[in-house]
Amino acid sequence: MSDALPGLEPFTPQTEPAALEDLRARLRATRWPDAPEDAGWGLGTDIAYLRELVAYWADGFDWAAQEAGLARLPRHRIRLGGLGIHLVHARAVAPTGPVLPLVLSHGWPDSFWRYTKVIPLLTDPGAHGGDPADAFDVVVPDMPGYGYSDRPTGPPLNSIAVAGLWAELMSVLGYARFGAAGGDVGSHVSRYLALDHPDRVVAVHRMDGGLPVFTGDQAELAPEERAWFDDVAAWGASEGAYGAMHRTKPQTAAVGLTDSPAGLAAWIVEKLRAWSDCDGDIERSFTKDEILTNATLYWLTGTIGSSMRMYHANAAIPPGQLARRVEVPSGFSLFRGDIVRPPRAWLERTANVAYFNEPARGGHFAPFEEPELYAEELRAFFRPYRAAALS
Assign 362 to helix, strand or coil: coil
Domain boundaries along the sequence of the chain: 16-23+45-390
Low-confidence ranges of the chain (pLDDT < 70): 1-4, 391
Q: What is the largest CA-CA distance in the chain?
A: 63
pLDDT, position 1:
45
Residues 6+ apart with CB under 8 A from 386: 97, 98, 99, 100
How many Å apart are CA 307 and CA 316, to the nearest integer?
Answer: 16
Assign 180 to helix, strand or coil: strand
pLDDT, position 159:
98
How many Cβ atoms from other residues are within 10 Å of residue 87's Cβ? Answer: 27
How many Cβ atoms from other residues are within 10 Å of residue 252's Cβ? Answer: 11
Q: What is the DSSP string of 13-77?
A: ----HHHHHHHHHHHHT--PPP--TT-TTTTSS-HHHHHHHHHHHHHT--HHHHHHHHHTS-EEE
- Cβ atoms of 98 and 178 closer than 8 Å: no
Predicted TM-score (pTM) of the model is 0.96
Fold for domain 16-23+45-390? Rossmann fold (3.40.50)
Average pLDDT, the chain: 96
pLDDT, position 389:
75
Q: What is the DSSP string of 295-356?
A: HHHHHHHT-HHHHHHHHHHHHTS-HHHHTPPEEEEEEEE--TT-SSPPPHHHHHHHEEEEEE
